[in-house]
Amino acid sequence: MKIFPEKSDSLKEIFNTSKPIIGMIHLKPLPGSPHYDGQSLDKVIDFALKEVDAYLEGGVDGLIIENAWDLPFLKPEKIGYETVAAMSYITKPIIEKSDLPVGINILANGVIPSLAVAKATGADFVRVNQWVNAYVANEGFVEGKAGEALRYRSNIKGDDIKIFADVHVKHGSHSIVADRSIEEQTRDAIWFNADVLIATGERTGDETEITEINKIKNNSNLPVITGSGLTGDNVEKILTNAHGSIVGSWLKEDGCWWKPVDVDRVKKLMNKVKKVRKELNEK
């Protein structure tokens, strides 16, 4: 069933490859957050650029930047100007150094702040964890921001910034939409004009269930990527079903999201990704 006129494939347009792998940069604490110790943002940039070096050496296809250390996260309407300013200041040198497609994810569910950063820096896409409907998260009651965000994107002339939207977001309870299947939530995300859909696990680092990927993919004409749990061991299984993946935790030292990127892990993963691409192209 077609819900919206068919769109072009934003994933291919942005990454120009099949099964793109998007490496996650978990930023150090930013001003205004409880873990921020007053250090210069240039030190935060230095850490992030070392992550970029590791990802480039390892061969990923793109990057996404996240204020991961701003725990505990605020609800979208409480995210401060200082977060947008810091993210913009940090993002620009990352884009310039990497020359890769870059996305922005400001937590929690800060799609409008993310769009502001993307517009200011030239980032290609934003990730939004709750695009439509609502759920109960660690931050409390979190509502979809699609209506406001699309109007904001239009107002800033940012229609080239693509929306990567989680369909069944992790880290929360879905009891509010328990009477709505994943298939229906997929149609909602399409109806509210997302560009790429994301299937994800229950928590950061958890493997995304194949059944969830396929429930989304089989009810969508949009690309579907995973947002959690890709590893060197499940690459073939995941990428045979999904169109790509955002990867963070497994690519870090010891598989811990707060540790630096491990170049050897990135190379191991990308070698397997290339093998999967080749095998799928030959079929």
Residue 136 has pLDDT above 70, yes or no: yes
Looking at the domain assignment, is residue 181 inside a domain?
yes
Largest alpha-carbon pair distance within the chain?
54
In sign, the C-alpha dihedral spanning 112, 113, 119, 124 is: negative
Identify whether 196 is part of a domain.
Answer: yes
The whole-number pLDDT of residue 187 equals 92
Tokens linked to 40: 């210069």
In the DSSP assignment, the letter for residue 60 is -
Q: What is the DSSP letter of 261?
A: B
| Inside any domain, residue 5 | no
Report pTM.
0.94
Cα 181 to Cα 66, 78, 191, distances in angstroms: 29, 30, 15
Q: Report the CATH number at residue 33.
A: 3.20.20.70
**86 Cβ neighbours under 8 A, 6+ residues apart:** 30, 31, 41, 44
Q: Which domain holds residue 227?
A: 10-282
For 242-273, what is each residue's pLDDT tens digit? 999 999 999 999 999 999 999 999 999 999 99
Q: How confident is the model over 84-113, as pLDDT tens digits?
A: 999 999 999 999 999 999 999 999 999 999
Q: Is residue 139 domain-resident?
A: yes
Residue 175, pLDDT above cutoff 70: no
Amino acid making up residue 271 = N
Q: Which of 135-144, 198-207, 257-266, 269-278 has the lowest mean pLDDT?
A: 198-207
- Residue 137 inside a domain? The answer is yes
Question: How many structural domains is the chain composed of?
Answer: 1
Return the axis-axis angle of helices 81-98 and 41-58, rounded to nearest 10°: 40
Task: Report whether 108 contacts 129 (CB < 8 A).
Answer: yes
Inside any domain, residue 195: yes
Rounded Cα–Cα distance for residues 71 and 49 (Å): 22
